[in-house]
Chains A and B, each alone.
Chain A
Amino acid sequence: MTQNDDKLFEEYIRTGNIEVRNIIVEKYYYMAKVLAGKFLNRGVDYDDLLQVASLALVKAAERFKPDMDNKFSTFATPTIIGEIKKYFRDKANTIRMPRKHYELYPTIKNAFETLSQEMNKAPTPQQIADRTGRTAEEVIEVLEMVRSGNITSLDEEFDEEGYSRMEAVGNEDPGFAGIVTKDLYERALGMLDENEKKVIQMRYGQGLSQKKIAEEFGVSQMYISRLEKKIYSKLRKKIGTN
């Protein structure tokens, strides 16, 4: 803190002039920005955090005395962090990280699929992050959480028109579904090589589990799972574009 800052604080204490206080706040506004940035990705928008941090900065400026034997930044930092944490506590009923993750998952999944098609290979977390305006860390966390929990939300939008899974839940028409499935199944088989065909026939023709197929082939279940994903991706490209 410079001598000029000391003079500003002394003048503010002496006169109570709001304009002087505002000069101090503007000078230290960077602290509110930096500290608000530290609490990003917790389900609260940066603008809201910045507002809370700014109000705390004003409070700190009003309470600080230069003879406190502290720099203003040392005095104000815990005040601002305290206010931000209090804000999180007050909002605890409405902010839940898992919910945020659920909400992020469809966006990340869409980006993953679009990028996979565009680049003809799986994207990196950073590429998904760039596409969705999130951080790579968030992408990794969301994917990790969804993988480990194997969860999807019924509220999740699953097509371009914004329909949720809940809206799509209905009764199956066995006859209609049978025709479509049979046609699709036969077309799909024609697009695959021998090994892929065999896996799909065992999986859907004979209704075997991935584990059972893995045992037949003498490979791990993970391998079959990855092979299946590759097959789907191949079919999506061929059938989806045609």
Chain B
Amino acid sequence: MEKKAIKLEIPSVKSYSRVLRLTAAGAADAAGFNIDMIEDVKVIVAEVFSSIIEAGCKGAKINFTPYDGKLVVSFATCSGEPVLKGANEMTVPILEALAGSVITEEDGGLTLIIE
């Protein structure tokens, strides 16, 4: 069952990563994830946010949509550039290892389905 989504717009400030991690933890909790999975979600979102900062984007727009046992997180940059523009060689493998599905959208957005 889909629950109400959380929408967050966050400027590219490294220390704001913890705001994102805490929000992600709340969303993951709403999806009914256990502590280990919540920690994974925090790693995932911090990884993508770090890639957005590396690319020099102004900020990120993030939607968290929790379902029972599943969390869909979609990312877009405030300036419209591809989310993974600043990704390093380990970003995508990390996301693939921790998230169930990693979908790169045509408009440069990124959707992660974590379950």
Chain A: residues with CB nearer than 8 A to chain B? 31, 34-35, 38-39, 41-42, 71, 73-74, 77-78, 81-82, 85, 88, 96-97, 135-137, 140-141
Proximity bits, B84-102, A CB within 8 Å = 1, else 0: 0000011011101110000
CA distance A97 to B42 in the complex (A): 14
When A35-B94, A73-B93 are in contact, do A141 and B43 touch as well, CB less than 8 Å? no
Could you tell me if A137 and B18 are in contact, using CB atoms closer than 8 angstroms?
Answer: yes
Taking A73-B89, A78-B93 as known contacts, 10 extra A-B pairs with beta carbons closer than 8 A to each other, sorted by chain A number, are A34-B90, A35-B94, A73-B90, A77-B90, A77-B97, A78-B96, A85-B36, A88-B36, A97-B35, A140-B18
A39 CA to B90 CA, complexed, in Å: 15
Closest to A75 in B: B93
The reply to whether B97 and A82 contact each other, CB–CB distance below 8 Å, is yes
- In the complex, chain B residues whose CB is within 8 Å of the CB of A88: 36
In the complex, the answer to whether A74 meets B93 with C-beta atoms within 8 Å is yes
The interface of chain B, by Cβ under 8 A from chain A, is: 18, 21-22, 35-36, 39, 43, 47, 89-90, 92-94, 96-98
Whether the Cβ atoms of A77 and B22 lie closer than 8 Å is: no
Top 4 nearest A-B pairs by Cβ distance?
Answer: A77-B93, A78-B97, A81-B97, A137-B18
Count of A-B contacts judged by CB separation below 8 Å = 42
In the complex, 8 of the A-B residue pairs with CB atoms within 8 angstroms, ordered by the A residue number, are A38-B47, A42-B39, A73-B89, A77-B94, A77-B97, A81-B97, A136-B18, A137-B22
Q: Is the CB of B89 within 8 A of A74?
A: yes
In whole angstroms, how far apart are the Cα atoms of A141 and B36 in the complex? 15
Whole-angstrom distance between the Cβ of B50 and the nearest chain A Cβ: 11
Chain B residues contacting A97 (CB-CB under 8 Å) are: 35
When A71-B89, A74-B89 are in contact, do A81 and B94 touch as well, CB less than 8 Å?
A: yes
Q: Write the nearest CB–CB distance from B34 to chain A, whole angstroms.
A: 10
CB neighbours (8 Å) of A74 from chain B are 89, 92-93
Cβ–Cβ < 8 Å partners of A39 in chain B: 39, 43
Q: Least Cβ distance of A223 to chain B in Å?
A: 27
Measured between C-beta atoms, what is the minimum distance from B54 to chain A in Å?
14
Looking at the assembled complex, report how far the CB atom of B23 sits from the nearest CB atom of chain A, in whole angstroms.
Answer: 12
A contact residues around B93 at 8 Å (CB): 73-74, 77-78
Most buried by A among B89, B93, B96: B93
Residues of B within 8 A of A81 (CB): 94, 97-98
Q: Bound complex: CA of A97 vs CA of B36, how far in Å?
A: 9
Q: Which of B22, B36, B90, B97 contacts A140 (CB 8 A)?
A: B22
Nearest B residue to A125, CB-CB:
B18
| Distance in Å: Cβ of A91 to nearest Cβ of chain B | 11
When chains A and B are docked, how far (Å) is the Cα of A48 from the Cα of B21? 24
Give the CA-CA distance A171 to B39 in the complex, in Å.
Answer: 43
Rounded to whole angstroms, the CA-CA distance of A140 and B94 in the bound complex is 26
Residues of A within 8 Å of B98, CB to CB, are 81
Complex-state Cα separation, A97 to B18, whole angstroms: 18
Cβ B90 vs Cβ A31 within 8 A? yes
B82 to chain A: closest CB distance in Å?
A: 19
**What chain A residues lie within 8 Å of B36 (beta carbons)?**
42, 85, 88
A96 to B35 CA separation, bound complex (whole angstroms): 9
Residue of B nearest to A138 (CB): B18
> Of all chain B residues, which has the CB nearest A37?
B43
Q: How far is the CA of A41 from the CA of B89 in the complex (A)?
A: 24
A34 CB to nearest B CB, Å:
6
